[in-house]
Every structure is written in C-alpha cells, then in structure tokens.
C-alpha cells in the first residue's frame, strides 16, 4: 500500500473519520499514540469543554479525566519562557502590577511588551547574585553566604544582570499571561530584550501563540439528506467469489489468457510508480474499482500467452489520487511470465463450513456476509456523509489558529504514518526514498495539508460538542470501555501481560478510557450533526421568564385584606426570585462598579 501512497492516501488512513486529532479516531487505533504521548496535545480544549462536562464520576471517568488536557509543551528553563506552572511567582506574591502592552497579530499570536520596574530588577539581581554565589566559591565565605556587594565585585555587574534577566523572564511570563488574559496554545518565545535608556531597565517582548478560536456561524441551517442504500446481490456475489479464490487451486497452462486466469507479469513504464517486477493479477469477469494500475487493465491482457509483451496506453483522470499520474497519458509495457488457470471450489454447505464452525449452511454464510457488507458500506457512506456536513459548516465558519498549532498537528500526522509503517516492517527513511522525497519536503507538502484538514474538522467538532452541550454519562462510558477491551482481546492483546507491571497496566487502562470517551463523544456529536442536517433536530425551547408568574401573583396579594407588615413580607417573598426592576438595578450597580475597577486597572497598566 505504501509503495504508491500519496497525501490523499495518508489522509484516508490518518483522518478517515473527520479528525486528527488524536481526539477523533474511532477507526484508527490511538492507543500507541496515547502511550507515546501521555499528555494530549495542546489543541484539545479544557476538560469541561472537551467532554461537554461529565455528569458522573465513576472509575472509568476518573481514568479518562486523569490526563492534563492543557498544553503538552515541556517545561523549559532560561530565556525561553514556558507554559505557566504551579511554581511560586515572586511578582504575584508581592502583588505587583505589571506594565505591559498587548497586541493581537494577524497570525493569531499575541505580542506583549512588558516594562520591568526598578524594584523588580533589584530583587531579581539579588536573587541572581545569591545563585551565582551558591554555584561558585568566594574565598572566606560559605556557598551562598557572601554579602551582595562582595558578590558584585567578584562576578561583575554584567554577569549578575544577565542572570537576573533570565530569572525575570521565568517570573514575568506566567504573571503576564494571567494579567493580559492570554490562553496560550504552545510555549511563547522571548522575541526581543531591550534596555531602557539611562535606567538599564529591561523591556521584554514576548510572542505567544493563542488557543484556536472557532465561530461556527449559522451551522444549524446546514442541510444534507441521508440517502444510504444497502448493497445489492452484486456485492454478495463478489464476496463469495473472493472466498472461492482464496480456497481455489491453480495450475500452469500453455495457452492464451482467459477470464478467471491468474497471471504473473512484469510492468515497465517511465513512471516509477507503475514499474513493477513479478506483479500478480487476475482476470475477473467484472472490473474492480481498486484494480491496479487502472480499472480494466487485466482485460487488456486477454489473448496473450507466457512470453508475450504488449504496450498499453492509458490516460489517467485529472483527479487521480496519484499526483504524478493525474491528467497524463502513460505507456505501460506488460510482459507475461506465467499463466495459471484457477479451479474454484463449489459453493455449497461444505464450503460454508470451511469458513468456520459457526456457518452450518451456505445460507448462514450468505447472511453473515450480507450483514458485514452492509455494515462496511454504511461506515464508508457515513464517513463521506459526515465529512460533507463538516465541510459545509466550515464554509460559513471562521477558524483562527497559530502556525505552531498546525505544526504540532502535522507532527502527529507523521507519527501516525511512522506507526503504520512500523506495522509493515518499514521506517520513514525507507518510505521517503520510495516516494523520492525527504523529511522536510514531506512535512511541508504532504503532512501539513493533511494536518490542516484534520485540525479544522476537529476544531469544528469540538465547538459543536461544546455549543450543543453533549455529555458522556458514566453508564455509556463503562459499556464503551468494555467494548474497547473486547476489541483489544480480539486483536490478540492480553492486558495482563503488558510490560511494566501494574503501572504499565494502569497506563493502558487510562489509554483505553481516553479512547472510549473519544469514541463515545464523537459518535454522539455525529448523531447530533445528522439530526441537524436532515432537519430532525429541534432546539430545546428556552424556559419562560419568571416575570409572568410575579405579575399573576401581585393582584392576588393586593386583593387579600391583610395587615401592612405581613403584606410587605408576602410581597417580598413572592417577588424575590423574579423582580425585574430589582434585577435591573443590581445589574446597573454591578456594571458601574465593574467599569470603575476596569478603568483603574487599565490606567495602572498603561
């Protein structure tokens, strides 16, 4: 498969179910990815958004919710700032307010310029001097115990200043993210370090990639009819024929090629992807969609014998999956090496029992094949159907994300490919040579376009899940968890023999829980999309305002002859939950307070 794989082929197996996301892969097993990357990538929203808010807290939910669903960026030290951690922040402890200027750029990154105050710099210099003294030896003093002035003379002001700036970067960055209200998608960078004239105060310029933003537009108006048709008798006949061929017998014949023959031949062409030695094919009665090198090729060989050669010309379609062949007319030289006739077993009850003990008759085998064919056809139709819906929603949506987010997703695409190749005993370097490319070219020209589709579809799905408040209950998740374990056992995976003992089993259990939660959430989101697209979806009616109830109560209260005090109490009691005027006055009062505090805050920042 990988000898002729291209970017579209990669997209089929890396994103066949709409997303890339490590988060939506109900067809692609993500357990290896989860075990390789225990922390999900940074494009996954916070857990309350990602899972629509779990309503129960069972064992499986705890496993699925145990991962940190924030940034997967590693902690970095030095002048390259890191994602905020729980480390004590000296600036916040002193309740200092940073002076900064924030600018949101077109590439969905925030540029923040921070002015360091003199007292902040002085405190950082003293901590830097202490660190230098702890690492070195100053004569006459124990490590870290020398006075500040002695350390200055021993190490120089320049060395202390440089160390102090490094400390300030790590301290200022988390505080800056909080005060500037920035939600980072990846680690920021210190873009520039300037000194204020005369004071030598550092001015730090950070650049921070922002979390993706999605505006779905009027997605509930998207319509697409669901028109699946179950395969007919033709597909069943093809499946039975393939089973017959698997158990058929062949013998070499010295005659011309006929329908039903098995042929071994060499292909030669100016196109490398069409040149093959020892290529095997079969002349079927009907052409197959996936026939190589093109549909109907085998029928071009009828009448040839072993040793004969024939040049076949074919013009490939403009939208051919192989970009090197699309729209081109190519000559292929076919040299017949061997012709073998095939004898097929008879279709009867005995043949059915050869397929398995569960098939007692040919009718039972046909029934099982029919169900399997329909399930596969429906899954294939659903993949295309849901992809069309998401693409229609994408047309009216606005999606913003930084380049770092796309690069991160492209890295996962390459990792997915690496794992697939490893299953076939291949590596990436060999694959690049087969494709006549290299790692950099492949990443930019093939992995990134696939990642873009995966990322944008994933973001749309996540936003729909959030807006529709789709939740996963514990009972359904337990069932999905058990189904995933059964699938693993059918694949030959014995959880009890996982390496690493209990810790290894725990990691696998967490991975299975994450896989189960993702499958279930994806399935429910797709069901909601289908209901919207077919017009079956009806938004839940908004609850009526409690004002009407208050108005109905007031005349009743007035009509009762009661003393003033009790009447006042009853009116207050009835009007308390829905007094419109009180709500307005409280809102206006709160808004005034908010506006004043906001004004003070913005003034101090400036």
Asked if residue 559 and residue 526 are part of one domain, the reply reads: no
CA distance 257 to 248: 18
What is the model's pLDDT at position 212?
A: 96
Question: Is the per-residue pLDDT at 352 higher than 60?
Answer: yes
What is the model's pLDDT at position 521?
A: 92
Whether 417 maps to a domain, the answer reads: yes
Tokens read off for 125: 């210099």
Asked if residue 105 and residue 202 are part of one domain, the reply reads: yes
Tokens read off for 588: 């206006």
Asked if residue 25 lies in contact with residue 19, where contact means CB atoms within 8 angstroms, the answer is yes
Whether 83 maps to a domain, the answer reads: no
Asked if residue 96 and residue 206 are part of one domain, the reply reads: yes
Asked if residue 436 and residue 528 are part of one domain, the reply reads: yes
CATH number of domain containing 157: 3.30.70.1050
What is the model's pLDDT at position 545?
A: 56
Question: Is the per-residue pLDDT at 458 higher than 70?
Answer: yes
Confidence band of 134 (pLDDT split at 50, 70, 90):
confident
Which is nearest to 113 in space by CA: 100, 97, 123?
100
Question: Is the per-residue pLDDT at 537 higher than 90?
Answer: no
Asked if residue 177 lies in contact with residue 84, where contact means CB atoms within 8 angstroms, the answer is yes
Asked if residue 172 lies in contact with residue 205, where contact means CB atoms within 8 angstroms, the answer is no
Phi/psi class of residue 75: alpha, beta or left (left: φ > 0; alpha: ψ in -120 to 50)? beta
> Which one is predicted more confidently, 271 or 562?
271
Question: Is the per-residue pLDDT at 79 higher than 80?
Answer: no
Whether 242 maps to a domain, the answer reads: no
Asked if residue 103 and residue 129 are part of one domain, the reply reads: yes
Asked if residue 177 lies in contact with residue 359, where contact means CB atoms within 8 angstroms, the answer is no
Query: What's the start-to-end Cα distance of the chain, in Å?
Result: 60
What is the model's pLDDT at position 541?
A: 64
Asked if residue 43 and residue 107 are part of one domain, the reply reads: no
> Which of 508, 533, 558 marks a domain boundary?
533
Question: Is the per-residue pLDDT at 12 higher than 90?
Answer: no
Cβ count near 464 (within 10 Å): 22
Listed in sequence order, the residues at least 6 apart from 413 whose beta carbon sits closer than 8 Å to its beta carbon are 10, 14, 20, 447, 450, 451, 454
Whether 114 maps to a domain, the answer reads: yes
What is the model's pLDDT at position 577?
A: 38
- Bridge partner list, 281: 263
List, for residues 176-191, the tens digit of each pLDDT value. 999 999 999 999 999 9
| DSSP SS3 for 522 | helix
What DSSP string describes 263-293?
EEEEEEESSGGG-EEEEEEE--SS--TT-SS
Averaged pLDDT score across all residues of the chain: 76
Listed in sequence order, the residues at least 6 apart from 56 whose beta carbon sits closer than 8 Å to its beta carbon are 473, 474, 475
List, for residues 355-371, the tens digit of each pLDDT value. 988 999 999 999 999 99
Question: Is the per-residue pLDDT at 337 higher than 70?
Answer: yes
Phi, psi (degrees; rounded to nearest 5) at 281: -150, 170
The torsion angle over the Cα atoms of residues 365, 370, 373 and 374, rounded to 10 degrees, is -150
Tokens read off for 351: 């043949």
Mean pLDDT is lowest, of 164-168, 285-289, 477-481, 568-572, for 568-572
What is the model's pLDDT at position 271?
A: 85
Confidence band of 543 (pLDDT split at 50, 70, 90):
low
The number of distinct structural domains making up the chain is 3
Tell how strand 109-115 and strand 99-104 pair up: antiparallel
- pTM above the 0.75 mark? no
Confidence band of 402 (pLDDT split at 50, 70, 90):
very high
CA distance 312 to 293: 11
Confidence band of 209 (pLDDT split at 50, 70, 90):
very high
Place of tokens 């095997």: 280
Whether 227 maps to a domain, the answer reads: no
Asked if residue 38 and residue 160 are part of one domain, the reply reads: no
Asked if residue 128 and residue 98 are part of one domain, the reply reads: yes
Question: Is the per-residue pLDDT at 455 higher than 60?
Answer: yes
Whether 487 maps to a domain, the answer reads: yes
Question: Is the per-residue pLDDT at 259 higher than 60?
Answer: yes
Mean pLDDT is lowest, of 28-32, 427-431, 442-446, 477-481, for 28-32
User: In the chain, what percentage of residues exceed pLDDT 70?
Assistant: 73
Whether 513 maps to a domain, the answer reads: yes
Asked if residue 466 and residue 583 are part of one domain, the reply reads: no
Burial class for 401, CB neighbours closer than 10 Å (0-12, 13-18, 19+)? buried
Place of tokens 């925030």: 110
What is the model's pLDDT at position 544?
A: 63
Asked if residue 515 and residue 449 are part of one domain, the reply reads: yes
CA distance 61 to 56: 8
Omega of the bond prior to 84 within 30 degrees of 0, cis? no
- What average pLDDT does the segment 23-38 reach? 34
Question: Is the per-residue pLDDT at 89 higher than 50?
Answer: no
Question: Is the per-residue pLDDT at 343 higher than 70?
Answer: yes
Provide the residue range defining the domain that includes 554.
Answer: 548-605
Listed in sequence order, the residues at least 6 apart from 509 whose beta carbon sits closer than 8 Å to its beta carbon are 63, 495
- What average pLDDT does the segment 455-459 reach? 94
Whether 344 maps to a domain, the answer reads: no
Asked if residue 518 and residue 425 are part of one domain, the reply reads: yes
Question: Is the per-residue pLDDT at 11 higher than 60?
Answer: no
DSSP alpha helix (H) spans, 188-253: 233-246
CA distance 371 to 498: 34
What is the model's pLDDT at position 601?
A: 39
> Which one is predicted more confidently, 504 or 379?
379
What is the model's pLDDT at position 374?
A: 95
Question: Is the per-residue pLDDT at 220 higher than 80?
Answer: yes
- Bridge partner list, 343: 249
Confidence band of 500 (pLDDT split at 50, 70, 90):
confident
Listed in sequence order, the residues at least 6 apart from 496 whose beta carbon sits closer than 8 Å to its beta carbon are 505
Mean pLDDT is lowest, of 2-6, 282-286, 391-395, 559-563, for 2-6
Burial class for 60, CB neighbours closer than 10 Å (0-12, 13-18, 19+)? buried
What is the model's pLDDT at position 25?
A: 34
Mean pLDDT is lowest, of 99-108, 442-451, 526-535, 560-569, for 560-569
The conformation of residue 116, written as its DSSP 8-state character, comes to P
What is the model's pLDDT at position 509?
A: 84
List, for residues 285-322, the tens digit of each pLDDT value. 887 778 899 999 999 999 999 999 999 999 999 888 78
- What average pLDDT does the segment 402-413 reach? 95
Confidence band of 379 (pLDDT split at 50, 70, 90):
very high
Please count the CA atoms within 13 angstroms of the CA of 199 that sit on its side-chain side. 12
Tokens read off for 37: 């990357």
Cβ count near 171 (within 10 Å): 23
Question: Is the per-residue pLDDT at 202 higher than 80?
Answer: yes
Phi, psi (degrees; rounded to nearest 5) at 341: -85, 150
User: In the chain, what percentage of residues exceed pLDDT 90?
Assistant: 47
> Which one is predicted more confidently, 436 or 463?
463
> Which of 500, 533, 566 marks a domain boundary?
533
Asked if residue 585 and residue 526 are part of one domain, the reply reads: no
């Amino acid at each position: 498969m990988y000898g002729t794989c291209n970017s579209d082929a990669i997209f089929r197996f890396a994103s066949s179910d709409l997303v890339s996301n490590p988060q939506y892969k109900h067809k692609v097993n993500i357990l290896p990815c989860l075990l390789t990357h225990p922390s999900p990538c940074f494009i996954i929203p916070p857990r309350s958004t990602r899972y629509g808010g779990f309503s129960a807290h069972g064992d499986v939910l705890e496993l699925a919710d145990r991962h940190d669903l924030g940034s997967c960026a590693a902690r970095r030290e030095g002048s390259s700032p890191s994602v905020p951690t729980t480390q004590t922040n000296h600036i916040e402890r002193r309740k200092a307010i940073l002076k900064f200027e924030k600018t949101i750029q077109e590439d969905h990154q925030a540029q923040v310029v921070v002015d360091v105050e003199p007292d902040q710099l002085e405190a950082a210099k003293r901590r830097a001097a202490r660190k230098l003294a702890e690492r070195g030896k100053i004569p006459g003093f124990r490590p870290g115990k020398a006075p500040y002035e002695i350390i200055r003379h021993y190490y120089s002001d320049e060395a202390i200043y440089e160390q102090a700036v490094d400390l300030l970067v790590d301290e200022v960055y988390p505080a800056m993210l909080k005060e500037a209200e920035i939600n980072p998608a990846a680690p920021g960078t210190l873009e520039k370090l300037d000194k204020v004239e005369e004071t030598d105060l550092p001015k730090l310029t950070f650049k921070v990639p922002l979390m993706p933003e999605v505006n779905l537009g009027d997605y509930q108006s998207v319509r697409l009819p669901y028109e699946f048709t179950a395969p007919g008798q033709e597909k069943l006949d093809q499946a039975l024929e393939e089973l017959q061929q698997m158990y058929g017998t062949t013998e070499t014949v010295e005659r011309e090629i006929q329908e039903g023959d098995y042929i071994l031949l060499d292909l030669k062409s100016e196109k490398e992807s069409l040149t093959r030695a020892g290529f095997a094919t079969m002349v079927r009665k009907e052409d197959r969609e996936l026939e190589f090198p093109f549909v109907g090729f085998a029928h071009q060989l009828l009448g040839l014998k072993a040793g004969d050669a024939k040049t076949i010309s074919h013009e490939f379609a403009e939208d051919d999956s192989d970009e090197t062949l699309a729209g081109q007319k190519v000559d292929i030289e076919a040299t017949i090496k061997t012709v073998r006739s095939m004898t097929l077993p008879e279709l009867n009850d005995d043949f059915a029992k050869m397929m398995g003990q569960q098939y007692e008759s040919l009718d039972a085998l046909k029934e099982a094949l029919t169900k399997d064919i329909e399930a596969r056809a429906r899954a294939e139709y659903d993949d295309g159907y849901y992809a069309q819906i998401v693409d229609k929603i994408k047309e009216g949506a606005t999606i913003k994300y930084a380049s770092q987010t796309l690069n991160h997703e492209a890295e996962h695409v390459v990792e997915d490919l690496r794992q697939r190749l490893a299953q076939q005993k291949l590596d990436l370097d060999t694959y690049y040579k087969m494709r006549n490319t290299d790692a950099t070219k492949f990443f930019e020209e093939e992995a990134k376009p696939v990642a873009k589709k995966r990322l944008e579809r994933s973001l749309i799905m996540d936003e729909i899940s959030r807006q529709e408040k789709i939740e996963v209950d514990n009972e359904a998740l337990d069932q999905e968890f058990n189904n995933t374990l059964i699938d693993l056992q059918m694949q030959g995976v014995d959880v009890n023999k996982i390496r690493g003992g209990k810790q290894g089993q725990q990691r696998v259990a967490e991975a299975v829980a994450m896989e189960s939660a993702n499958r279930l959430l994806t399935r429910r989101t797709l069901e909601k999309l289908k209901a919207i697209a077919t017009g079956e979806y009806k938004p839940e009616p908004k609850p009526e305002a409690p004002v009407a109830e208050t108005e109905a109560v007031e005349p009743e209260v007035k009509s009762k002859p009661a003393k003033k005090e009790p009447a006042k109490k009853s009116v207050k009691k009835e009007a308390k939950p829905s007094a419109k005027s009180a709500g307005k006055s409280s809102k206006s009062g709160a808004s005034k307070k908010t506006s004043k505090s906001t004004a003070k805050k913005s003034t101090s920042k400036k």
